[in-house]
């Protein structure tokens, strides 16, 4: 495996049933002296030898070594620091190609201490031991099947996924293109649904762009890859030709990627100051990345940045940089809260991934486990228990997918009749939400879904109105 010895990782998970890009890292803190630790090392060695030679059944040294190594990283209580078997190290090599066999989604597992049981636990707290879907990748099997951000994976191929790491779940989901994998999810606590997904070659997109109207440009960055900067430059050129006067950047559902990618992109927007810095355990600055005046988005262009709980890691770097410098007005939901950087190193045939630093925004703020709060929080309304039951009925009965399959061309009259029938049958969901779910299902069936949907995207609609109404300047000045 090339470049296996030391690799940096900046993303929301390890291997995610989707591709991430890996690159070589600069040297980090030197190994600490054995002084003071000798007794622990000697005890481990003696324990290893005793178990190997005296356990009642035959056991291999490799098996004991891997178990001990896994236990060492589990003691850190950090979902991003893990031991990697030889096969898992090879999986990282696979992801550098940019395509592989999988189902197409980014996943993560919550960190920290397991919450004590209480009837008041939130849905996410109750599913602490399960891996969460951060976002499906557009156009992939997971996306087309209807897997959603916030779903928890509770079983794979009939076996419980409780207690599995993100890496272990990813290993089970990846495989030869054309083969099937069965996955059961829990959604919002009371919806349980099983999917049979056919693995495919997964290509990871990076950005889409369009004009929302005659003056406002829209740039949706979906992943931070080596090609993001180039895509943003292409978008900026397109916007200039269309004489744009305002810009909305959307990183909702973007789980991260390359540190270098987001730094390069931020440098196209910011003309001075710090973009991000990384610090070690002693708060020593390891690296500081600064803007160098090569912007392609003029300072006169006002910017709104859209975020949500799926905006993680590298996306949070952009959010922090634009917020702290006052360059953009942030709208949406608080971001994921992944502010740590991992290093991947080969160790013989195996290896490990270890959190070695945290990143800090220009105002010296680390968002790890906290996230970045936008200037204006705007999310979909919370559903009542009765509304959740109506949603569960729709999902579990496949009502909307069946309707779309029976009516492959979107038709307003047929949609109206379908919604009316659902309401007559007792579904109490808000009509707008039902219609939004129908539109999303139609989009999943398209090879090239629309770049935006102003009809049902309330946050995007509000952002556009903020520009067209002339109220943006007062909104930004109120928070700067």
pLDDT of res. 22: 34
Looking at per-residue confidence, does 218 or 91 come out higher? 218
Count the neighbouring beta carbons within 10 Å of the beta carbon of residue 439: 19
pLDDT of res. 106: 87
Among this protein's residues, is 338 annotated catalytic?
yes
Among this protein's residues, is 313 annotated catalytic?
yes
State the average pLDDT for the chain: 88
Closest CA to 279 of 338, 344, 345, 365: 365
409 and 425 share a domain? yes
305 and 249 share a domain? yes
Q: Is residue 23 part of a domain?
A: no
Concatenating the DSSP letter of every residue in 256-291 gives: BB-HHHHHHHHTTT--SSEEEEEE-TT--EEEEEE-
Q: Is residue 45 part of a domain?
A: no
Looking at residue 419, the DSSP 8-state letter turns out to be H
Q: What is the pTM of this model?
A: 0.81
392 and 300 share a domain? no
d(CA 81, CA 342): 7
Looking at 348, 380, 412, the residue that finishes a domain is: 380
Q: Is residue 193 part of a domain?
A: yes
Looking at 380, 413, 447, the residue that finishes a domain is: 380
Average pLDDT (342-352) is 86
Q: Say which residues have a Cβ less than 8 Å from residue 432's Cβ, sequence separation at least 6.
A: 456
pLDDT of res. 92: 59
Does residue 23 carry a pLDDT above 60? no
Query: What's the total number of domains in the chain?
Result: 3
pLDDT of res. 19: 31
Residue 348 binned pLDDT confidence (cut-offs 50, 70, 90) = confident
225 and 314 share a domain? yes
pLDDT of res. 155: 97
Q: Is residue 476 part of a domain?
A: no
Q: Is residue 321 part of a domain?
A: yes
230 and 291 share a domain? yes
Check 109, 220, 279, 338 and give the catalytic one.
338
Domain assignment of residue 447, given as a range = 385-458
Among this protein's residues, is 342 annotated catalytic?
yes
Is residue 112 within 8 Å of 86, Cβ to Cβ? no
Check 81, 231, 261, 313 and give the catalytic one.
313
pLDDT 10s digits, 80-93: 899 988 877 776 55
333 and 257 share a domain? yes
Is residue 133 within 8 Å of 152, Cβ to Cβ? yes
Does residue 98 carry a pLDDT above 50? no
Q: Where are the alpha helices (DSSP H) in 326-398?
A: 385-396
240 and 324 share a domain? yes
Q: Is residue 140 part of a domain?
A: yes
Average pLDDT (238-252) is 98
pLDDT of res. 11: 55
Average pLDDT (219-236) is 95
Judged by average pLDDT, the poorest of 33-37, 155-159, 256-260, 380-384 is: 33-37
State the CATH number of the domain containing residue 283. 3.90.226.10
Q: Say which residues have a Cβ less than 8 Å from residue 28's Cβ, sequence separation at least 6.
A: 280, 286, 343, 356, 357
pLDDT of res. 167: 81
Q: Is residue 241 part of a domain?
A: yes
Is residue 432 within 8 Å of 458, Cβ to Cβ? no
Query: First vs last Cα of the chain: how many Å apart?
Result: 49
Does residue 26 carry a pLDDT above 60? no
pLDDT of res. 228: 94
pLDDT of res. 100: 59
Q: Is residue 112 part of a domain?
A: no
d(CA 447, CA 39): 61
228 and 367 share a domain? yes
State the CATH number of the domain containing residue 129. 2.30.42.10
Q: DSSP 3-state assignment of 128?
A: coil
Looking at per-residue confidence, does 339 or 111 come out higher? 339
Average pLDDT (185-203) is 89
Judged by average pLDDT, the poorest of 12-16, 116-120, 440-444 is: 12-16
Looking at per-residue confidence, does 83 or 127 come out higher? 83
189 and 299 share a domain? no
d(CA 229, CA 312): 18
pLDDT of res. 426: 95
Is residue 102 within 8 Å of 18, Cβ to Cβ? yes
173 and 302 share a domain? no
133 and 224 share a domain? no
pLDDT 10s digits, 448-462: 889 999 999 999 999
Looking at 186, 201, 216, the residue that finishes a domain is: 201
Q: DSSP 3-state assignment of 167?
A: helix
Q: What percent of the chain has pLDDT above 90?
A: 67
229 and 372 share a domain? yes
Closest CA to 9 of 361, 359, 353: 353
d(CA 117, CA 127): 11
In a 10 Å sphere around its CB, with 0-12 CB exposed, 13-18 middle and 19+ buried, how is residue 225 labelled?
Answer: buried
Q: Say which residues have a Cβ less than 8 Å from residue 272's Cβ, sequence separation at least 6.
A: 290, 291, 293
């Amino acid at each position: 495996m090339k470049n296996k010895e030391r690799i940096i990782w900046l993303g929301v998970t390890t291997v995610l049933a989707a591709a991430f890009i890996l690159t070589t890292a600069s040297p980090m803190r030197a190994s600490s002296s054995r002084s003071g630790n000798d007794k622990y090392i000697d005890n481990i060695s003696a324990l290893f030898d005793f178990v190997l030679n005296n356990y009642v059944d035959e056991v291999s040294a490799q098996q004991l070594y891997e178990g001990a190594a896994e236990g060492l990283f589990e003691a850190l209580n950090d979902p991003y620091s893990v031991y990697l078997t030889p096969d898992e190290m090879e999986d990282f090599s696979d992801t550098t190609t940019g395509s592989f066999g999988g189902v197409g989604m980014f996943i993560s597992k919550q960190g920290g201490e397991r919450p004590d049981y209480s009837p008041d636990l939130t849905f996410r707290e109750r599913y602490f031991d399960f891996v969460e879907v951060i976002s499906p990748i557009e156009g992939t099997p997971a996306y087309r099947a209807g897997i959603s951000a916030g779903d928890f994976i509770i079983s794979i191929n009939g076996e419980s996924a409780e207690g599995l790491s993100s890496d272990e779940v990813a290993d089970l989901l990846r495989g030869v293109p054309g083969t099937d994998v069965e996955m059961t999810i829990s959604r919002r606590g009371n919806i349980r649904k099983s999917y049979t997904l056919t693995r495919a070659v997964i290509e990871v997109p990076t950005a889409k762009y369009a004009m929302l109207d005659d003056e406002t440009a829209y740039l949706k960055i979906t992943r931070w890859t080596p090609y993001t900067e180039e895509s943003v430059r292409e978008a900026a050129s397109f916007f200039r030709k269309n004489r744009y006067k305002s810009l909305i950047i959307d990183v909702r559902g973007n789980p991260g990627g390359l540190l270098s990618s987001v730094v390069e992109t931020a440098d196209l927007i910011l003309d001075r100051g710090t973009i991000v810095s990384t610090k070690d355990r002693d708060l020593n600055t390891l690296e500081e990345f600064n803007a160098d005046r090569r912007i392609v988005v003029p300072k006169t262009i006002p910017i709104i940045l859209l975020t949500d709980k799926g905006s993680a890691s590298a996306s949070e770097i952009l959010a922090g940089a634009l917020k702290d410098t006052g360059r953009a007005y942030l709208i949406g939901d608080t971001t994921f809260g992944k502010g740590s950087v991992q290093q991947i190193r080969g160790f013989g045939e195996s290896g490990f991934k270890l959190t070695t630093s945290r990143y800090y925004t220009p105002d010296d703020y680390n968002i790890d486990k906290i996230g970045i709060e936008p200037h204006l929080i705007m999310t979909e309304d919370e559903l009542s228990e009765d509304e959740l039951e109506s949603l569960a009925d729709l999902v579990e009965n496949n009502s909307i997918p069946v309707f779309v399959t029976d009516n492959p061309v979107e038709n307003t009259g047929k949609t109206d009749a379908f919604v009316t029938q659902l309401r007559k049958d007792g579904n109490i969901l808000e009509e707008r939400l039902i219609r939004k779910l129908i539109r999303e299902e139609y989009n999943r069936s398209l090879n090239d879904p629309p770049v935006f949907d102003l009809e049902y995207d309330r946050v995007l609609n509000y952002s556009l109105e903020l520009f067209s109404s002339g109220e943006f300047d007062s909104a930004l000045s109120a928070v700067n």
